[in-house]
Amino acid sequence: MHVAVLFFAFALTGTTLALDNGLMRTPPMGWLAWERYRCDIDCENDPKNCISENLFMDMADRLAEDGWKELGYVYVNIDDCWSSKQRDDQGRLQPDPKRFPGGIKKLAHYLHNRGLKLGIYGDMGKLTCGGYPGTPLDKIELDAQTFADWEVDMFKYDGCYSNATEQELGYPLMSKALNATGRPIGYSCSWPAYQGGLPPKVNYTQLGEICNLWRNYGDIQDSWDSVLNIVDWFFENQDALTSAAGPGRWNDPDMLIIGDFGLSMEQSRSQMALWAIMAAPLFMSNDLRTISSGAQSILRNKMAISINQDALGIQGRRIVKKSGIEVFWRPLSKNASALLFFSRRTDMPYRYTTSLSKLNYTAGSYKVFNVFTDETASLKDSTEFVVSVNPTGVVMWYVSAPAKFNLRQFYQGGTLHGRVYDDREENAIPRVFL
Amino acid sequence: MHVAVLFFAFALTGTTLALDNGLMRTPPMGWLAWERYRCDIDCENDPKNCISENLFMDMADRLAEDGWKELGYVYVNIDDCWSSKQRDDQGRLQPDPKRFPGGIKKLAHYLHNRGLKLGIYGDMGKLTCGGYPGTPLDKIELDAQTFADWEVDMFKYDGCYSNATEQELGYPLMSKALNATGRPIGYSCSWPAYQGGLPPKVNYTQLGEICNLWRNYGDIQDSWDSVLNIVDWFFENQDALTSAAGPGRWNDPDMLIIGDFGLSMEQSRSQMALWAIMAAPLFMSNDLRTISSGAQSILRNKMAISINQDALGIQGRRIVKKSGIEVFWRPLSKNASALLFFSRRTDMPYRYTTSLSKLNYTAGSYKVFNVFTDETASLKDSTEFVVSVNPTGVVMWYVSAPAKFNLRQFYQGGTLHGRVYDDREENAIPRVFL
């Protein structure tokens, strides 16, 4: 709640730290090819899964016809390996003629006609990571104009085969070039992932001014280990990362792998919930033509999505880290918040006893909505409760504003910070963050 | 096929290496409490999941009423934490009076009336691993007789708090004591797991003579990492392990965690398939009251079960180990075999090109049944095929006998052995193992 107050105060000054293209005031949602389809260009033997216009049109059909679009999943994003190995005779990038015979502009129209948006991919080096033509410094303006001509809506700029100096010049230059086209194009920068993801090497203030989202860390793989690795990194470095995020500028822990091969249902709920806490972009990388109903119900969870998409855009934090159990918290609009209990156990459910007051909530009576079971409860701050969290699973709550709310007690300084406490501190922790 | 020939020749000599109680001529199947329910004794706060007679009666009801029994899942096995902390005034083990008010004998009758069998647990040390009374050397005869009096059908003898000398005396002594009761009691020995699992420390010939099954390695946990760790160990040591297995004597890689929290559907199929290849005991440790239909369909797969339960009882082997893909093979009755393709990738499906002849099959035409899709195909040994294996998933085939079969070409020696080859050898491998 206190965070909300701070944010509004800040917003009133009239400045903005986000890229000034008006886009992505909430984390972008959609579908992205890479994790699931990689650089599969073997359309002869694997026509349903190869990187081709058919794949993107298939996914567009699913997003538009199966109700995903209405939930917010509107981007359909091409990743690496879409282009011809040669630029055209005017030096422009061009799609592989066999796999994208209609061209990118026609594909963009196909999407736009269905209320969807198209994303495309490039790389700052001489080559993309997959070995296709890159977009080095001297090609930035040309390629930005090409994407705009094709009516592309989002651009991811990767960094393979480029050095730090080129990146320092190129990422801001591309931002300017995209803006200069006059077309609103969401801009995803892989820059910080190539700089180790942390200040002082990464300048998150600058990133917020030139990019709409950025990859801070390595690529996700289709495994629970990979999800845990990403989650660990993002929350161990939350002090450096959370302040970078806000409307129009997002940390990107990479794609949702829900519906693929590596996650159990518990783990799928955990990824969805943790990405919601992180205010992360929600790009599914899966097969929407064959996805199971179980995975669908997680990806379509309206309360998880609304937490992710909260208008304040404040990235959540880990507030408890004990052996086997962790608790995460994200402040939301209307003085509400999200609470997430996450078990690291791999044996039996963790029965965790706590109270809202122990979790830094102020005195009052709260309404609690369980995101994945739709149960509701009323809870006083002082009431001890037990939450049973399955191995590798989560319990996620939307917590409404307290019945009694004293604004003064939240606003006692000018900086926003949280803290992680451990067992030893538990009886000594302050009740309020600020 | 050649293996079958050898086995029958061997069987005709009339000798047997297995514990002479006539039990478990195929790997035992059923349900075991430990992995899912651990030492949860909190019946006040967690009545549905605590170790109590209610839990075992619940699972018995499910096995009997939901068709599991007809598939072969007949054992209902108690693990640690069932007993009172004190022996009774005659020195006998007794169940916890609050959690097992009816006593073990009544529970056994409950199961027997439903066509099921009861397993129970003890430990060679002064205490069990969970801190309950153990069965040290001087209590072995008494406890064996107590279990027989209770009409127990299987006994798992753990090894916490015992040393190598006690184990060397105690495991054979318990075998004799169980046999001496006159009641057929399947005998599961944790001994090799406490000896590191490998010869020369472990004497598998002796184990086959005194135990029906044995735990070679550490406990399974509810995670894919744990399954992989077990699979790696068993197949890296297959030369030492496979010859130990046969009717009445089984290596036990531990419980099936299918239906729990840690495995995806792909990974669940993989565990089922790998356990079938290994001729492993199939003890589910899950909640049969709430298990998903997806997990059920894997555990109920009749062809996977019939491969697991093949009468020859020959433990399968890994025959190909490449980066990202492995192939396993198990010879079956009627000159058939099981082939298993397993992908280690965590990105996209592995499209693996091979032929039956490359996988050591002799010339001929084979019928192939896909265990998890029910597809069938005819395949000549020389026909190249591509099998697409999902990340962390399997493709499992039952391969029928070849239409033409020349017995002489298989029988060229007196010993059974297989070999693992790698890429470099692929063009040089012999077509037949022996």
Nearest Cβ partner of B263 from A221, A264, A351? A264
Site of tokens 């919601």 = A276
Nearest to B373 by CA among B353, B351, B390, B348: B390
Q: Mean pLDDT check: name the lowest of A33-37, A137-141, B278-282, B401-405.
A: B401-405
Mutation site, A37, A43, A81, A222, interface B, largest B CB count within 10 A:
A222
Does residue A260 have a pLDDT over 90?
Answer: yes
Non-local (6+) Cβ contacts of B400 within 8 A are B334, B336, B366, B367, B368, B369
10 Å CB burial of residue A355 (0-12, 13-18, 19+) is middle
On whether any CB of chain B is under 8 Å from the CB of A290, the answer is no
pLDDT tens track for B95-111: 999 999 999 999 999 99
**What one-letter code names the amino acid at B14?**
G
- Cβ-Cβ contacts under 8 Å, B267 against chain A: 261-262, 264
At A225 the pLDDT is 98
Please state, in angstroms and as integers, the Cα–Cα distance from residue A245 to each residue in A27, A256, B215, following that order. Answer: 10, 19, 51
Does residue A408 have a pLDDT over 60?
Answer: no
On whether any CB of chain A is under 8 Å from the CB of B36, the answer is yes
pLDDT tens track for A28-57: 999 999 999 999 999 999 999 999 999 999
Mean pLDDT for the stretch of residues B410-420: 33
Task: With H, G, I as helix, E, B as strand and everything else as coil, classify residue A171.
Answer: helix
Does residue B422 have a pLDDT over 60?
Answer: no
Non-local (6+) Cβ contacts of A142 within 8 A are A91, A92
When pLDDT is cut at 50, 70 and 90, the band that residue A409 belongs to is very low
Q: What are the structure tokens assigned to B419, written together? A: 């070999």
Does residue B246 have a pLDDT over 80?
Answer: yes
When pLDDT is cut at 50, 70 and 90, the band that residue B402 belongs to is confident
At B17 the pLDDT is 53
Residue B351: count of CB within 10 angstroms of its CB: 15
Q: What are the structure tokens assigned to B228, written together? A: 């992989």
Percent of chain A clearing pLDDT 90 (strictly above) = 88
Site of tokens 């093949």 = B310
Q: Which residue of B has its CA nearest to A34?
A: B347
On whether any CB of chain A is under 8 Å from the CB of B79, the answer is no
Nearest Cβ partner of A263 from B37, B264, B292? B264
Tell me if residue A219 is catalytic.
yes
Cα–Cα distance between A338 and A351 in angstroms, integer? 20
Q: Of these residues, B158, B254, B260, B381, which one is catalytic?
A: B158
- Cβ-Cβ contacts under 8 Å, B46 against chain A: 351
Cα–Cα distance between A46 and A33 in angstroms, integer? 15
Does residue A2 have a pLDDT over 80?
Answer: no
Mean pLDDT for the stretch of residues B52-57: 98
Q: What are the structure tokens assigned to A32, written together? A: 């992205």
Cβ atoms A86, A39 nearer than 8 A: no
The edge-to-edge listing of strands for the beta sheet with A376-380 is A317-322, A325-331, A337-343, A394-399, A365-370, A376-380
pLDDT tens track for B322-373: 999 999 999 999 999 999 999 999 999 999 999 999 999 999 999 999 999 9
At A291 the pLDDT is 98
Q: Which of B258 and B413 is assigned the larger pLDDT?
A: B258
Q: Mean pLDDT check: name the lowest of A16-25, A113-122, A239-248, A327-336.
A: A16-25
Percent of chain B clearing pLDDT 90 (strictly above) = 88
Check B223 against A40: CB less than 8 A apart. no
Helix, strand, coil shares of chain A as percentages rounded to 5?
A: 30, 20, 50
Nearest to B308 by CA among B350, B371, B229: B371
Check A348 against B386: CB less than 8 A apart. no
Buried b (16+ CB within 10 A) or exposed e, A270-298: bbbbbbbbbbbbbbbbbbbeebeebbbeb
Q: Mean pLDDT check: name the lowest of A188-192, A298-302, B176-180, B430-434.
A: B430-434
How would you classify residue A337: left for phi > 0, otherwise alpha for psi between -120 and 50, otherwise beta?
beta
Q: Mean pLDDT check: name the lowest of A295-299, B147-151, B343-347, B422-426.
A: B422-426
Does residue A420 have a pLDDT over 70?
Answer: no
Nearest to B394 by CA among B215, B269, B308, B287: B269
pTM of the entire structure? 0.90
Mutation site, B48, B222, B230, interface A, largest A CB count within 10 A:
B222
On whether any CB of chain B is under 8 Å from the CB of A344, the answer is no
When pLDDT is cut at 50, 70 and 90, the band that residue B421 belongs to is very low
Cβ atoms A278, A216 nearer than 8 A: no
Non-local (6+) Cβ contacts of B220 within 8 A are B35, B226, B227, B230, B253, B254, B255, B257
**Average confidence score pLDDT of chain A:** 91
Cβ atoms A73, A63 nearer than 8 A: yes
Please state, in angstroms and as integers, the Cα–Cα distance from residue B246 to each residue in A43, B303, B334, following that order. Answer: 47, 20, 17
Does residue B7 have a pLDDT over 70?
Answer: no
Check B262 against A392: CB less than 8 A apart. yes
Does residue B264 have a pLDDT over 90?
Answer: yes
Q: Of these residues, A219, A222, A239, A287, which one is catalytic?
A: A219
Does residue A90 have a pLDDT over 70?
Answer: yes
Does residue B195 have a pLDDT over 90?
Answer: yes
On whether any CB of chain B is under 8 Å from the CB of A266, the answer is yes
Cβ atoms B281, B28 nearer than 8 A: yes
Query: What values do phi and psi take at B263, rounded to 5?
Result: -110, 140
Nearest Cβ partner of A391 from B45, B222, B349? B222
Cα–Cα distance between B334 and B311 in angstroms, integer? 10
At B432 the pLDDT is 28
Residue ranges of alpha helices (H) inside B203-257 are: 204-210, 224-236, 238-241
Does residue B4 have a pLDDT over 70?
Answer: no
Q: What are the structure tokens assigned to B77, written together? A: 């096995």
Cα–Cα distance between B153 and B116 in angstroms, integer? 9
Give A394's strand partners: A342
At B12 the pLDDT is 39
Cα–Cα distance between A42 and A33 in angstroms, integer? 15
Mean pLDDT for the stretch of residues A224-228: 98
At A402 the pLDDT is 84
Nearest Cβ partner of B347 from A45, A221, A393? A221
Cα–Cα distance between A75 and A80 in angstroms, integer? 16
Does residue B53 have a pLDDT over 60?
Answer: yes
Does residue B383 have a pLDDT over 90?
Answer: yes
**Average confidence score pLDDT of chain B:** 91
**What interface predicted TM-score (ipTM) does this complex get?**
0.89
Q: What are the structure tokens assigned to A41, written together? A: 């260009």
On whether any CB of chain A is under 8 Å from the CB of B384, the answer is no
At B20 the pLDDT is 78
Tell me if residue A158 is catalytic.
yes
Check A348 against B36: CB less than 8 A apart. yes
Secondary structure element (H or E) that encloses residue A207, with its range: helix A204-210
- Cβ-Cβ contacts under 8 Å, B265 against chain A: 292
Does residue B14 have a pLDDT over 90?
Answer: no
The edge-to-edge listing of strands for the beta sheet with A154-158 is A250-252, A213-215, A186-189, A154-158, A117-123, A75-77, A29-32, A282-284
Query: What values do phi and psi take at A81, rounded to 5?
Result: 75, 20
On whether any CB of chain B is under 8 Å from the CB of A224, the answer is yes
Nearest Cβ partner of A221 from B40, B267, B346? B346
